[in-house]
Chain A
Amino acid sequence: MIEVRELTKTFGSQRAVDNISCTIDSGCIYGLVGSNGAGKSTLLRLITGVYRPDAGDVRLSGRSVCNDPMAKQRMIFVADELFFLPGANMRRMARLYAAEYPAFSHERLRELAARFGLDMNAGIQTFSKGMRRQAAILLSLCCHTDYILLDETFDGLDPVMRALVKRTLYEDIEARRATAVISSHSLRELEDTCDQLALMHRGGLVFESDVQNLKTTLFKVQVAFSEDFDRTAFGGVEILSFEKQGSVARAIVRGDRDEMRQRLAGRAPLLLEILPLSLEEVFVYELEALGYAFGGDEEVEKKT
């Protein structure tokens, strides 16, 4: 389990991570989403000990990560901007990883390299951007750590390779009951991957929830009655959004879907549709409920 407690990190006058607390359970795939500059990469670097926090703490199964090689040995971090030793090929990089991670498996690396069609003897500088990212991911997977942290990992991968990488990642995670933390600025990227999702904005953790719970507890209701009605028709459920045009009302509701259906059906509606929301829509409405307004280009501003 990764416990983040009141973590804060400032660069100059800019607060990149602002008093974040969260818990990442063991064995889950945790998605971290947010716009550019939200603080995702900084948070990952704080968790992996690359940065020292200005305040707060990160603990790995009760052990502080800061300057602790035993804790850090259980984690592997694949950064958004990759680094390889100058002139190195995958074998050379594997030697470095093996020196640092005792559980590193050369055999597994050979197997994965073959699967992905990567030449282990070729210089990594000759690889394309996507191939380099594949190489970095494979090397990190072969370290067999308990925690894998990936920062905007799937960028630069074509759809086929992306699917292959995801599948390989899941295989590994499932086989070892590892925990993965994946950051991205794309919700769609994480939607079908993660168990838990957290949204960051301007250094803060705005929203965090179980994905399945999000998808099932929040839904859109389209209903029309012959008589006039308002939002009270929905009973005591939490309504995130309500819009009525004529006799048709559209509402975003949090609650139990079946119970909602029964309640509304009991009033003999002219129209009743209960529709699932996409994750993007879930996030939008959740944020609105929290008081954030959307500008253009996915800009999110806290309403005053």
Chain B
Amino acid sequence: MKKSLFSGGLYLDVLRQLRLVGGIMLAVVLLFTILLPVVSALSHSWRDTPDILALTPALAPFMYLGTVVLVFAAFSFLFSRRASDFYHALPETRLSLYGATAGAALTWVLGTVALAALTAHAVYGICGYGPVLSDLLPNLLGYASGSLLVAGCALVGVCAAGTRFSAFILTVLLLWLPRYLGVMLNVTMDNIMYELIPGQMGPLFDVSLNFPVSFILGAFDILEGGIGGAAGSVPALFYSPSTLLCTGALAVFYIGAAGVIFHFRKSETAARPAPGPVLQRIYGGLVAAPTLILLAALAVVWAFSGYSRAMGIVAVILVLLTLVLYGVYTLITTKQFRSLRQGLLVLPLTAAICFVMMFGASAVWRAEMAVVPQASEIAGVRERLSREPAVYGMLRRSEIVMADPELCALVAKNLADVRNPGDDLPGGRTRVEMDIILKNGRVISRRVPIREPDAGRVRDIIDNDADYFAAAGAFPEDREIKSIGLWGADRGGDAFSVRFKTVAREVVQVFREEFQALPPDVRVSLIGMPNYPRPAASMTYTSPLNRPTPDDAGVEEIFGVPLRKTRDGVATLGVTLFVRGVRGGVPFTAEYQLGGHTPRAANLLMASLNEMTDASARTQIAQMQGTPAFSRVHGDLVLENVPYGSDWYRSGSLYYGGGAKDTAESAAWQTLAAWLLSAATDAPDITKPLISYSIVVSASTRLYLYANIEANDAEALVEMAGAALPKVS
């Protein structure tokens, strides 16, 4: 039987050998994967489609620890002479021995990832958190590629070293050192050439291309703030094709490289920290590399920005730390003091390499900074997305290329001011992150420092660009949406309960039709975005202790009820349509205000919510009227849009009841409640005078209703509402 590359029999045997450790880890991962949605479902009625990170959180520690444990367990024979002799005596080629052993370990790794992902999606689906299937593939690919990369590093580690300690150190270094270098390059560049945007200088600088490393950096918020790369948040990693592809390619490379190392490895190096003295010193150099890279980065900053005493102290500390790291590693692995002396030459060599890399990179940055296009060379500019998760409108805006000649001229002019890194630029500057698209097709990304007189003009041009403006009012496409919710639809209750999911889906379809037919300025007024004023509908859910007063801007007190005029008489419901999704690999959120500008959607929502209310509660509450039991009843009223005089007004939430008995307010509350119970709740229409109210006896007996009132009844209602309000001392 020819077994040159792979041995099926040995593969099955190693698979069996790993069943204890693999089985335990699989069980732990599946346990957490199943428990999370089940406990969540039992704890509350929230059913929001989970964020991709929340699907299989147990796979994150598995990706780092479980993978390494499995690889080390499979190749444990390389750490013992007798075990190594046994395996190398088997009738296998080196490659088939490696292939079967690595294959078995990777089978456990990928099997755990796949089972966890499938189980999570199934359990979340069963518990009513659907739909989640659209995230199955990104979830699977993300953790699979990340786990394979960690496994690849571990495979190189075990093949290149003969002890667990050395193999582990090599694994960590192989996984982290290249991206650590990328991070340090970005940090250094960010310090001395702030106009350049980290992560945009090539693959080495884009930390996000390494999934497991970016996962950790993102968890500690290190991906953003100029350090990361294309993907600024951890969820975005799952949707980024470049991240997944690069991670997968790197994994394949490392797994292959480990096979080559294994093939040439001398079996007698088992239980030795390194195959030979030269490699032992190289490994020691690698251990010292992180601090030496930091030292080199300091040197570059020093060269560009000048010396400071603090830098000197840090440099000394770094040198000492380097010696300590190298010394500790060498002593642990060789257990000989003379090895310290013999291998010291590797430190200056490693330092030299680090310095060459850092200063070489700074030369590249200088060359990049020297690219200062003329206005005539610029085809257009695009404002870059500055934060994640993005607001949908901002995401769409970041796709708009603006070709205004004046804008291009202003950008070119201000960019030309910056000739040398670290220049002190006169006057106040506003830095705008931009992609500058040149006519030759090249795209350069810069933080353009725009002087103050020009900054305002740039902002005006951008804000008034018709496409840019309209992009803010875009609505996500169906295929981009992961979850939708209705905040405020249940008076602060479950915006994502199962019953609301059906309503929300229907409302979204109608809302989209109406929304997209609106003029751009109206659309923009209905969305929640930075730098855009929200509609004046924020008077909901004010607590009784925090009731607006006439001192607040725009608030009038009528019959003791704080009211604010609605904009143009158009009602705005205290319900926000919340959308979460992914576009082009970038996660986004979006909020849209429901109201009179989208009457069909608003009416559909109100009618649906009225239908959900328990009709028997109305009867029960009516029966409690006039009885002492009514003292338990409490509620709230929102005058969504009622006429008074020549204007239309809106209130916040007005709270009633549940307080002292036998007061004038409690009697007035009973009167008000009786009036509310008689209001018409069939087919509420937002274009007519509208109120919403809740009357609550207990968690199981309550009404939440929208109702229209006659315009003639508005004044009387406001008076009743004011009379029943508890007096605020």
- Chain A residues proximal to chain B, CB less than 8 Å: 11, 45, 48-52, 67-73, 75-77, 79, 81-83, 85, 95-96, 99-102
Contact = CB atoms under 8 A, between A and B. Distances in A.
B91 A73 contact: yes
B80 A83 contact: yes
B82 A83 contact: yes
Q: What range describes how many residues of B lie at the interface?
A: 20 to 34
Given A68-B93, A77-B85, 15 more contacts: A45-B85, A45-B89, A49-B88, A50-B85, A52-B267, A75-B89, A79-B82, A81-B81, A83-B77, A95-B16, A99-B13, A100-B7, A100-B10, A100-B91, A100-B92
Chain B contact residues, majority secondary structure: helix
Nearest to B8: A99
Contact of A72 (B10, B86, B89): B89
Contacts of A48: 89
A51 B266 contact: yes
Contacts of B83: 83
14 contacts: A48-B89, A49-B89, A50-B84, A51-B267, A68-B93, A73-B91, A75-B89, A79-B85, A79-B86, A83-B80, A83-B82, A83-B85, A95-B16, A101-B91
A69 B91 contact: yes
Contacts of B81: 81
Given A69-B3, A69-B93, A96-B13, A51 B268 contact: yes
A81 B13 contact: no
B7 to A, nearest CB: 8
A72 B90 contact: yes
Interface in B1-59: 1-4, 7, 9-10, 12-13, 16-17
A94 B17 CA distance: 14
Interface in B63-95: 77, 80-86, 88-94
Contacts of A68: 93
B96 interface: yes
Contacts of A77: 85, 89
A83 B78 CA distance: 12
B91 to A, nearest CB: 4
A96 B14 CA distance: 9
A95 B85 contact: no
A68 B12 CA distance: 21
Contact of B91 (A45, A72, A79, A85): A72
Contacts of B77: 83
Contact of A85 (B17, B82, B96, B268): B17
Nearest to A149: B89
A102 B85 contact: no
Contacts of A72: 89-92
B13 A67 contact: no
Contacts of A51: 88, 266-268
The list of the 9 closest CB pairs from A to B, nearest first, reads A99-B9, A73-B91, A72-B91, A83-B86, A81-B82, A69-B91, A83-B82, A77-B89, A50-B88
B13 A95 contact: yes
A180 B346 CA distance: 49
Contact of B266 (A52, A70, A85, A95): A52
Given A85-B17, A95-B13, A99-B10, A50 B93 contact: no
**Most chain A beta-carbon contacts within 10 A, residue among B88, B91, B268:** B91
A69 B13 CA distance: 17
Nearest to A101: B91
A136 to B, nearest CB: 10
B4 to A, nearest CB: 8
Nearest to A16: B268
Contacts of A76: 89
B446 to A, nearest CB: 56
B89 A99 contact: no
Contact of B82 (A52, A69, A82): A82
B86 A69 contact: no
**Most chain A beta-carbon contacts within 10 A, residue among B9, B81, B96, B266:** B9
A67 B90 contact: no
Nearest to B265: A52
A52 B4 CA distance: 17
Given A99-B9, A100-B10, A11 B268 contact: yes
Contacts of A102: 1
B324 to A, nearest CB: 29
Contact of B93 (A52, A67, A82, A99): A67
Interface string B92-107: 1110100000000000
Contacts of B7: 100
A250 to B, nearest CB: 46
B107 to A, nearest CB: 16
A225 B90 CA distance: 63
Contacts of B89: 45, 48-50, 72, 75-77, 79
Contacts of B9: 99-100
B96 A69 contact: yes
Contact of A69 (B17, B92, B268): B92
A95 B19 CA distance: 15
Interface in B554-580: none
Contacts of A75: 89, 91
A223 to B, nearest CB: 52
A70 to B, nearest CB: 8
Nearest to B268: A51
B195 to A, nearest CB: 55
Nearest to B80: A83
A96 B87 CA distance: 11
Nearest to A84: B86
Contacts of A52: 266-267
Contacts of B92: 69, 72, 100
Given A51-B266, A52-B266, A83-B80, A100 B94 contact: no
A127 to B, nearest CB: 16
A222 to B, nearest CB: 49
A147 to B, nearest CB: 12
A50 B267 contact: yes
A81 B80 CA distance: 11
A16 to B, nearest CB: 10
Contact of A99 (B12, B84, B85, B96): B12
A99 B101 CA distance: 14
A79 B84 CA distance: 11
Contacts of A101: 91
Nearest to B87: A83
Contacts of B4: 69
A67 B94 contact: yes
Nearest to B17: A85
A100 B11 CA distance: 11
A197 to B, nearest CB: 24
A50 B83 CA distance: 11
B109 to A, nearest CB: 20
Nearest to B4: A69
Contacts of A67: 93-94
Contacts of A99: 9-10, 12-13
A82 B85 CA distance: 9
**Most chain A beta-carbon contacts within 10 A, residue among B81, B86, B94:** B86
Nearest to A95: B13
A100 B97 CA distance: 11
B443 to A, nearest CB: 51
A69 to B, nearest CB: 4
Contacts of B94: 67
A170 to B, nearest CB: 23
Contacts of A45: 85, 89
B541 to A, nearest CB: 62
A77 B91 CA distance: 11
A237 to B, nearest CB: 46
Contacts of A100: 7, 9-10, 90-92
**Most chain A beta-carbon contacts within 10 A, residue among B17, B90, B92, B96:** B90
